[in-house]
A and B are shown apart, each in its own frame.
Chain A
Amino acid sequence: MIRAVIVMNTQGKPRLLKFYEFQPPEKQHELTRSVFAVLSGRPDNVSNFVEADAIFGPGTRLVYKHLATLYFVFVFDSCENELAMLDLIQVLVETLDRCFKNVCELDIVFNFNKMHTILDEIIFGGQVLETSSERVLKAVEEISRLEKSSSSVSFVPKSVSGRFGR
Chain B
Amino acid sequence: MALTGMRGLSVFISDVRNCQNKEQERLRVDKELGNIRTRFKNEKALTHYKKKKYVWKMLYIYMLGYDVDFGHMEAVSLISAPKYPEKQVGYIVTSCLLTENHEFLRMVINTVRNDIIGRNETFQCLALTMVGNIGGKEFSESLATDVQKLLVSSSCRPLVRKKAALCLLRLYRKNPDVNIDGWSDRMSQLLDERDLGVLTSVMSLFVALVSNNVEAYWNCLPKCVKILERLGRNQDVPQEYTYHGIPSPWIQVKTMRALQYFPTIEDPNTRRALFEVLQRILMGTDVVKNVNKNNAAHAILFEALALVVHLDAEKEMMSQCVALLGKFVAVREPNIRYLGLENMTRMLLVSDVQDIIKSHQAQIIISLKDPDISIRRRALDLLYGMCDVTNAKDIVEELLQYLNTADFAMREELALKAAILAEKFAPDLSWYVDVILQLIDKAGDFVSDDIWYRVVQFVTNNEDLQPYAATKAREYLEKPVLHETMVKVSAYLLGEYNHLLARRTGCTPKEIFIIINEKLPTVTTSTVAILLSTYAKILMHNHPPDPELQKQIWSIFRKYESYIDVEIQQRAVEYIALCNKGAALVDVLAEMPKFPERQSALLKKAEVAEVNTAEQSAIRIRSQQQTSNALVVTDQRPTEGSLPVSQLGVVRMPSGKMEASTQDQTSFQDQGMTKENGVITEVVPQDVPPSDILGDLLGPLAINGSPATAVPVEQRNQNLLSVVEATPEAAGSLALTTVDNQPNSIQPIVNIAERFNELCLKDSGVLYEDPHIQIGIKAEWQAHHGHIVLFLGNKNTSPLVSVQALILPPTHLKMELSLVPETVPPRAQVQCPLEFVNLRASRDVAVLDFSYKFGTAMVYVKLRLPAVINKFLQPISVTAEEFFAQWKSLSGPPLKLQEVLRGVKPLSLPEMANLFTSLHLAVNPGIDTNPNNLIACTTFYSESTRATLCLIRVETDPSDRTQLRITIASVDPTLTFELKERIKEYLVNIPTQTPSAVVAPSQPQSPVTPVAYNDPGAMLAGLL
Contacts and interface: CB of A to CB of B under 8 A. Distances in A.
Interface of A: 14, 16-18, 20, 22, 24-30, 32, 42-43, 45-51, 53, 57-59, 77-79, 81-84, 86-88, 90, 109-110, 112-113, 116-117, 120, 124-125, 127-132, 134-135, 139, 142-143, 146-147, 150-157, 160-161, 164-166
A131 B204 CA distance: 13
A24 B598 CA distance: 43
Nearest to B64: A14
A71 B476 CA distance: 49
Nearest to B82: A150
Given A46-B334, A125-B166, A127-B169, A24 B828 contact: yes
B350 interface: no
Contacts of A147: 84-85, 88
Contact of A164 (B17, B49, B196, B827): B17
B200 A130 contact: yes
Given A27-B825, A49-B338, A110 B374 contact: no
10 contacts: A14-B63, A16-B63, A46-B370, A59-B611, A83-B298, A84-B299, A125-B166, A147-B88, A156-B3, A166-B18
Interface string B804-840: 0000000000000001000001111100000000000
Q: Which 3 A-B residue pairs are closest in the complex by CB-CB distance? A: A164-B14, A29-B65, A83-B299
Contacts of A20: 133
A155 B254 CA distance: 35
Nearest to A124: B166
A78 to B, nearest CB: 4
A30 B828 contact: yes
B262 interface: no
B692 to A, nearest CB: 18
Contacts of A42: 372-373
A90 B292 contact: yes
Given A42-B373, A83-B302, 5 more contacts: A58-B819, A77-B613, A81-B303, A110-B13, A124-B163
A110 B166 contact: no
Contacts of A18: 96
Contacts of A27: 825, 828-829
Contact of A81 (B13, B84, B302): B302
Given A47-B372, A51-B377, A110-B13, A79 B257 contact: yes
B159 interface: yes
A165 B14 contact: yes
A81 to B, nearest CB: 5
Given A43-B371, A59-B611, A132 B169 contact: no
B615 interface: yes
Secondary structure at the B interface, as helix, strand, loop or mixed, is helix
B827 A128 contact: no
A157 to B, nearest CB: 6
B705 interface: no
Interface of B: 2-6, 9-11, 13-14, 17-18, 49, 56, 59-60, 62-68, 83-85, 88-89, 92, 96, 99-100, 122, 129, 132-134, 159, 162-163, 166-167, 169-170, 196-197, 200-201, 204, 207, 240-241, 243, 248-250, 253-254, 257, 292, 295-296, 298-299, 302-303, 334-335, 337-339, 370-375, 377, 611-615, 819, 825-829
A117 B372 contact: no
Contact of B611 (A48, A53, A110): A53
A36 B975 CA distance: 55
A149 to B, nearest CB: 8
B250 A88 contact: yes
A59 B96 contact: no
B133 A125 contact: yes
A24 B17 contact: no
Contact of A47 (B13, B89, B250, B337): B337
Contacts of B829: 24, 27
B612 A127 contact: no
Contacts of A161: 10
B819 A128 contact: no
B1020 to A, nearest CB: 30
Q: Which of B49, B169, B295 has the most C-beta atoms of chain A within 10 angstroms of its own C-beta?
A: B295
A125 B159 contact: no
A86 to B, nearest CB: 5
B129 to A, nearest CB: 5
Given A22-B134, A143-B88, A87 B338 contact: no
Secondary structure at the A interface, as helix, strand, loop or mixed, is mixed
Nearest to A30: B825
Contacts of B3: 156, 160
Given A47-B337, A87-B296, A125-B133, A110 B10 contact: yes
Nearest to A139: B159
Contact of A152 (B5, B295, B302): B5
Contacts of B13: 109-110, 112, 164
B607 to A, nearest CB: 12
B295 A79 contact: no
Contacts of B96: 18, 116
B42 to A, nearest CB: 24
Contacts of B2: 154-157, 160
A82 B339 CA distance: 9
Nearest to A29: B65
A49 to B, nearest CB: 5
Contacts of A152: 4-5
Given A48-B335, A109-B13, A130 B65 contact: no
A53 B821 CA distance: 12
Given A26-B828, A131-B200, A51 B250 contact: no
Contacts of B59: 112-113, 116
Contact of A46 (B250, B295, B374, B826): B374
B131 to A, nearest CB: 8
A127 B204 contact: yes
B166 A127 contact: yes
Contacts of A84: 249-250, 253, 296, 299, 303
A29 B929 CA distance: 64
A124 B132 contact: yes
Contacts of A116: 59, 92, 96
A91 B454 CA distance: 52
Nearest to A46: B372
B281 to A, nearest CB: 13
A135 B197 contact: yes
B200 A26 contact: no
Nearest to B610: A58
Contacts of A153: 5-6, 85
Given A51-B374, A152-B4, A143 B133 contact: no
Contact of A146 (B84, B201, B250): B84
B66 A25 contact: yes
Nearest to A62: B374
Contacts of A53: 611
A58 B832 CA distance: 12
A162 B667 CA distance: 78
A15 B296 CA distance: 27
Contacts of B163: 124, 129
B65 A32 contact: yes
Contacts of B248: 131
A113 B85 contact: no
A128 B60 contact: no
A82 B334 CA distance: 13
A114 to B, nearest CB: 10
